[in-house]
Amino acid sequence: MNRQEKRKIRLEINNLMDQECNSCKYQKKTGDEKFNFCLNECPVAKQLQSLSKKLESNAKLSNSIDEIKTGDWDDDEELYLLNHANRFPVAHLSMRLNRSPKSVRNKIGQLKEKQAAISS
């Protein structure tokens, strides 16, 4: 799901809440009566839950280990490593770059060797 699709879902959630929930007779109630109705009976709440599940399931997928990048490093990734390797631990860098920690460690070593060869 791309950024535009996520935005569309969030806007739909906001619009539903503005149009339906603000004018709901249960909105004026307090305590259990309001929450029981919203959680168990309200069709709008069910729509909201369905929309939010789309966003949640996408977030879980994007954090999946299956999406760890492999293969060639692009220039932006190398530049990020050069600028941040001394500031952050490998675990953080691997998370940000969506690479395995072993791959990040190896790449940092390669980049340091290149830098040493260029400076001498």
**What does the pLDDT average to over 74-81?**
92
| Residues with Cβ within 8 Å of residue 113, at least 6 apart in sequence | none
Distance of CA 13 to CAs 3, 39, 50, 57, Å?
15, 16, 10, 16
Which is higher by pLDDT, 23 or 5?
5
User: Looking at the structure, do residues 53 and 76 belong to the same domain, yes or no?
Assistant: no
Same domain, 59 and 46: yes
Reported confidence tier of residue 34, pLDDT bands at 50, 70, 90: low
**59 with 95, same domain?**
no
Identify the pLDDT of residue 64: 47
- pLDDT > 90: what percent of the chain? 25
- pLDDT in the model for residue 43: 86
Domain hosting residue 96, numbered range: 69-119
Which pLDDT score is estimated for 68? 83
